Amino acid sequence: MTGAEGPVRWLREALGYEPRDAALFAAALTHRSAAGPNNERLEFLGDAVLNLVVAHHLYGRFPRASEGDLSRLRARVVSREPLAQVAADLKLGDMLQLGSGELRSGGFRRQSILADALEAVCGALFLDGGLPAAQQAITRLLAPRIAALPDPAMLKDAKTLLQEYLQARSLTLPHYHVERIEGEPHAQTFRVSCEVAELGLRVQGGGSSRRRAEQQAAERMLRAIAPEQAADRGP
């Protein structure tokens, strides 16, 4: 969808927001590969606005959480994957203006482009309506994810737990290796192995990023050598 009217209609329907400066949001939804003003500067600003609003929510909701716990909780809300999922749910990709190369390669589905564009929209909201407008829209978008966050005590990821388990028993740390990468650039799946040589164990995990694949492999290794710890983390 092109022109200022598309972004304005999308903002009304997706965010319940009536913009004052439609051109600002048109820029927020324009990737650097396209002609005209793009969203790189707005992305920079929106990243800071998102972090502030989410940090404020978390600070109030988890009064006993440490700084490290709050940082990990925030990462579950404002890192690339969750932001890209929110953007996809809003059909933000349909609004993006991309250069011909990005269009051909499916850039409107790429996580990095979707997450960056959502950050840029948040930056535009801040400039157009001030912090109250940005807070209202961001809260509307992310409150369900914040409400679903786990207790800070459950925040240690599988790789950390596996490392601590092995260190406590004076065993060597696991070795992770990318076995292969499958799929198109905008929808890749990483296959990663996790090996604990001293135990003669090797498992595999998969995910949409190397980090997620390593976490799944570590989770499977934990289930193999320490089922009681894996059980505590749920399915």
Catalytic residues: 47, 119
* DSSP string covering 18-30: --S-HHHHHHHTB
Please say whether the beta carbons of 128 and 102 come within 8 A: no
Rounded Cα–Cα distance for residues 86 and 89 (Å): 5
Say if strands 175-182 and 201-207 run parallel, antiparallel, or are unpaired. Answer: unpaired
Nearest CA to 169 among 231, 225, 223? 225
Strand partners for 190: 181, 207
Provide the sign of the torsion angle of the four alpha carbons 4, 81, 32, 71, taken in this order.
Answer: positive
Nearest CA to 14 among 3, 29, 2? 29
Q: Dmax of the chain from CA atoms?
A: 63
Give per-residue burial for 182-195: e unless 16+ CB within 10 Å, then b. Answer: eeeebeeebbbbbb
DSSP 31: -
